[in-house]
């Protein structure tokens, strides 16, 4: 008899969770609080789909090599449908900067270093229709999950056991009528809006949460290229993404002639945070960043939305088996942002969520004992997701320090010890080597695309030797590779303070 599985949340992670499990022979029901995508194409979905349960729905997303490899290897027909809807495949060769093209020779592994360029509305609409055609799977839209049903018992070893057996559903369109849904396994894919954490704690579960504030807010504005205009070419001297200390920015090319620009600001940058909400001042900020000018030129593109923001950005890690003495929580699993959330600025969430979904599918299809399933999934999560989480958290902490230094007019480049000097010198040399040596650039792109553990490329002897050789050039020369032309913080504050 097939085991029944209830997945809560039909975003990208939830859809891939349901899809992978249905393909393994499980009987899957997906519960989603929002309405299904509107009739028509992905273009209509972007502007009209009401996705109140996914605050980040219209913010740009990065679909990195990790996710794209899972997609291409497991669902080639889905990839064909995405490409037919306007998504574009950007290969590693496409991403090689012009000044490094003479060094390029294809290498094994390059086939995993590709990205899918499209808006989230495009991938989610196509994926939703694809999943809805799957046998063994149903999607119940506009269904609110308002509690989790748990049975408590004593284990053979004498400790408490909490077995999740179902969900409480509330029909908001019928006088809040309540009903229950029973399933053998409950999977939480509800993302940032997760409420299972509190529900389970109230029922006796011991859950340890690590939460760190990135102390930023970021604003997005979408644009469409004007008729007959092609996307600007890559310019390594004026990159279309960067970190100015007081401000981070980036262009996210999309599908069907669309792209988005994000401007990310520390919480304490009050003048710039207020200015970026205004469409004219958003454009004004971007026009003072050389890497954005070719995209922002009014002759090249037209805005399709006003600027809109998202805050409360935290790195969150939840451990549902924090110790051997904790109550055993059985037949419940959290995937994606409900379990491990990173700063969306880095674009890793969709990839880690997709990987997490397939790790869970492997565990549930290969292990039948509920407690062994819980232990195996925790082990796989620690092995595959934790290194990405830790790297992202470290980047958040470095960003906080850098932003504070920019506000206070301090430099972070002065070494406090020999060890600190070596770390600074190595970092400068790595940036310079990656800019001028393709094999180093390729290594960093493996980390960026999450096709290996963060920083694993530094185990490559050739890359290490190159970086050490660049250290001999001196910090001043190497640090020049970091310089990004733009208005300074004081200049930018003055610019946005002037009438538009």
Say what the pLDDT of residue 311 is.
92
Decide the pairing of beta strands 340-341 and 314-319.
Answer: antiparallel
Say what the pLDDT of residue 158 is.
65
Residue 493 reports pLDDT greater than 90: yes
**Cα 318 from Cα 474, distance rounded (Å):** 43
**Cα 47 from Cα 247, distance rounded (Å):** 28
Where in the sequence of the chain do the CATH 3.50.50.60 domains occur? 1-61+119-213+314-411
Q: What is the pTM of this model?
A: 0.95
Where in the sequence of the chain do the CATH 3.30.70 domains occur? 216-312
In which band, very low, low, confident or very high, does the pLDDT at 53 lie, cut at 50, 70 and 90?
A: confident
More confident residue, 52 or 26: 26
In which band, very low, low, confident or very high, does the pLDDT at 171 lie, cut at 50, 70 and 90?
A: confident
Say what the pLDDT of residue 156 is.
67
Quickly name the fold that domain 216-312 has.
Alpha-Beta Plaits (3.30.70)
pLDDT digits (tens, 9 = 90+) for 128-153: 999 999 999 999 999 999 999 999 98
Say what the pLDDT of residue 500 is.
62
Token reading at 55: 């605050």
In which band, very low, low, confident or very high, does the pLDDT at 413 lie, cut at 50, 70 and 90?
A: confident
In which band, very low, low, confident or very high, does the pLDDT at 371 lie, cut at 50, 70 and 90?
A: very high
pLDDT digits (tens, 9 = 90+) for 320-352: 999 888 889 999 999 999 999 999 999 999 999
Say what the pLDDT of residue 460 is.
97
**Cα 470 from Cα 16, distance rounded (Å):** 43
Say what the pLDDT of residue 234 is.
86
Quickly list DSSP for 184-231.
Answer: SEEEE--GGG--HHHHHHHTT---EEEEEE--EEEEEEEEEEPTTPPP
Residue 86 reports pLDDT greater than 90: yes
**Cα 196 from Cα 189, distance rounded (Å):** 10
Token reading at 285: 């900020």
More confident residue, 481 or 260: 260
Average pLDDT, stretch 380-398?
Answer: 98
H/E run at residue 78: helix 76-84
Residue 384 reports pLDDT greater than 70: yes
Token reading at 105: 């020779």
Token reading at 330: 């059985």
1-61+119-213+314-411: CATH superfamily:
FAD/NAD(P)-binding domain (3.50.50.60)
Instruction: Output the average pLDDT for the chain.
Output: 95
């Amino acid at each position: 008899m097939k085991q029944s599985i209830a997945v809560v949340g039909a975003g990208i992670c939830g859809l891939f969770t349901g899809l992978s499990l249905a393909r393994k022979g499980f009987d899957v029901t997906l519960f989603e609080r929002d309405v299904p995508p509107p009739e028509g194409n992905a273009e209509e979905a972007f502007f009209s789909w009401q996705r109140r349960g996914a605050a980040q729905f219209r913010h740009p997303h990065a679909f990195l090599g990790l996710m794209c490899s899972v997609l291409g290897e497991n669902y080639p027909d889905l990839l064909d449908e995405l490409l037919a809807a306007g998504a574009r495949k950007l290969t590693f060769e496409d991403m090689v900067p012009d000044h490094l093209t003479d060094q390029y020779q294809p290498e094994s592994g390059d086939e995993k270093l590709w990205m899918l360029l499209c808006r989230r509305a495009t991938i989610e609409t196509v994926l939703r229709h694809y999943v809805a055609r799957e046998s063994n799977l149903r999607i119940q839209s506009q269904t609110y999950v308002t509690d989790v049903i748990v049975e408590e018992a004593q284990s053979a070893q004498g400790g408490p056991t909490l077995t999740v057996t179902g969900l409480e559903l509330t029909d908001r369109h019928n006088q809040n009528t309540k009903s229950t849904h029973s399933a053998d396994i409950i999977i939480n894919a509800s993302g940032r809006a997760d409420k299972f954490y509190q529900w389970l704690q109230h029922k006796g579960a011991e859950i340890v949460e690590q939460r760190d504030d990135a102390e930023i807010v970021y604003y997005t504005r979408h644009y469409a290229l004007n008729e007959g205009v092609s996307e600007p070419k890559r310019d390594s001297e004026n990159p279309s993404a960067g970190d100015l200390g007081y401000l981070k920015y980036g262009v996210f090319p999309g599908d069907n002639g669309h792209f988005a620009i994000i401007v990310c600001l520390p919480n304490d940058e009050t003048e710039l945070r207020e200015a970026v909400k205004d469409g004219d001042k958003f454009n004004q900020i971007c026009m003072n960043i050389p890497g954005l000018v070719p995209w922002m030129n009014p002759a090249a593109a037209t805005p399709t939305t006003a600027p809109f923001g998202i805050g409360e950005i935290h790195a969150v890690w939840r451990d549902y088996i924090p110790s051997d003495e904790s109550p055993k929580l059985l037949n419940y699993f959290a995937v994606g942002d409900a379990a491990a959330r990173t700063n969306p600025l880095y674009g890793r969430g969709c990839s880690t969520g997709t990987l997490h979904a397939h790790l869970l599918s492997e565990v549930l299809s290969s292990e039948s004992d509920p407690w062994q399933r819980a232990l195996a999934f925790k082990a796989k999560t620690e092995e595959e997701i934790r290194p990405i989480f830790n790297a992202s958290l470290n980047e958040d902490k470095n960003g906080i320090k850098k932003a504070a230094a920019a506000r206070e007019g301090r430099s972070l480049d002065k070494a406090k010890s020999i060890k600190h000097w070596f770390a600074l010198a190595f970092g400068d040399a790595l940036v310079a080597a990656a800019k001028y040596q393709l094999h180093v650039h390729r290594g960093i792109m493996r980390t960026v695309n999450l096709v290996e553990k963060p920083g694993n490329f530094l185990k490559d002897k050739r890359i290490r030797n190159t970086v050490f050789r660049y250290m001999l050039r001196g910090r001043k020369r190497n640090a020049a590779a970091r310089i990004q032309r733009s208005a300074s913080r004081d200049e930018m504050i003055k610019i946005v303070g002037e009438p538009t």
